[in-house]
Structure 1
Amino acid sequence: MRVDKYLWCVRYYKSRNIATEACKKNQVSVNGQVCKASREVYPGDSIHFRKDQITYEIVVLDLPPNRVGAKLVDIYRKDNTPAEAFAHLELLRLSKEHYRRAGTGRPTKKDRRDLDELEENTWNDDETE
C-alpha cells in the first residue's frame, strides 16, 4: 500500500491529497529515508512524519483494506510518539494564550498605549543601568 494512502486510511490526514502534499514537502520518512507518496509500506515498517508541529513515529502492524473507523485504527498501527511532543504542543498553545486570550478581539487604542508605555519604561530602565 502507498504511504500516502496508508496515512489517510489510519486517519492521520483528512484526505489523500493532504497526505501526498506532506510527502512532497519531505515531511514523511519510512525506515529513516525521506520518501515519495508512491512509496510502498509493509507491516513492520517505521514511519516518521511531521504534522501540526509534532513529529509522529508509528509502526505499521497491518495494512487496512480501506479507510477505517477511529476505534479500529490501533489494529493497523502502533504509535511510538513520545509524550513530550504532545506536552510541547500544549506549552505552545498556552504561551500564545498568555499574551492575549482567545475571543477578546483586536487590541484597543488603550491596549496599544499601555504597550507603548511599558516598552518606554523598559528602555528607560536599561539606559539608567
Structure 2
Amino acid sequence: MRIDKLLWQLRLTRSRSLAHGLVEAGHVRRNGTRVVRASQDVAIGDTLTIPLPGGVRVIELVAYPVRRGPPAEARACYRALDPHPVRGIAAGEDQPPERGHP
C-alpha cells in the first residue's frame, strides 16, 4: 500500500494531498529512513515516524486498513509506540500555556 494513501486512511492526515505533500517534503520516516516518494510501499510491521500539528507520532503498522472508516477502525490498524507525542520545540510548544496575567 502507498504511504500517502495509508496516512490518509489511518486518519493521520485530513486529505490524501496533505499526506502526499508531507511525504514528498521528506518529513516522514519509515523504519528510520526518510521517505521521499509518496508511492513508496509500506509493509505490516513497519515503524513510521510522522510529524503532525499535535506532535510527532511514532506508530507500528499492524494491519492494512480496508477503507477510510471511523477513527476506531483506523486506530485498530496501528499501535502507537509513543503514548505521549513529542511536541515541536522550535515554536516553543514545549512550554505550558500561560494561564493569564497577574
Per the normalisation by structure 2, the TM-score is 0.81
Q: Residue type matched to 1:69 in 2? A: P
Query: SS at 2:13's partner residue?
Result: coil
Q: Structure 2: 5+ residue runs without aligned partners? A: none
Q: Distance in 2 between matches of 1:45 and 1:79?
A: 12
- Matched with 1:117 is none
Shift, 1:74, TM fit = 2.4
Q: Distance in 2 between matches of 1:22 and 1:38?
A: 12
Per the normalisation by structure 1, the TM-score is 0.65
Q: State yes or no: 1:79 paired with 2:58.
A: no
- Matched with 2:25 is 25
- The number of residue pairs the alignment matches comes to 97
Q: Structure 1: 5+ residue runs without aligned partners? A: 100-129
Q: Residue type matched to 1:81 in 2? A: D
Tell me which structure has the larger Cα radius of gyration: 1
Shift, 1:84, TM fit = 5.8
Give me the CA root mean square deviation: 2.4
- Matched with 1:64 is 65
Q: State yes or no: 1:47 paired with 2:51.
A: no
Q: State yes or no: 1:94 paired with 2:92.
A: no
Q: Distance in 2 between matches of 1:25 and 1:93?
A: 29
Percent identity over the alignment? 24
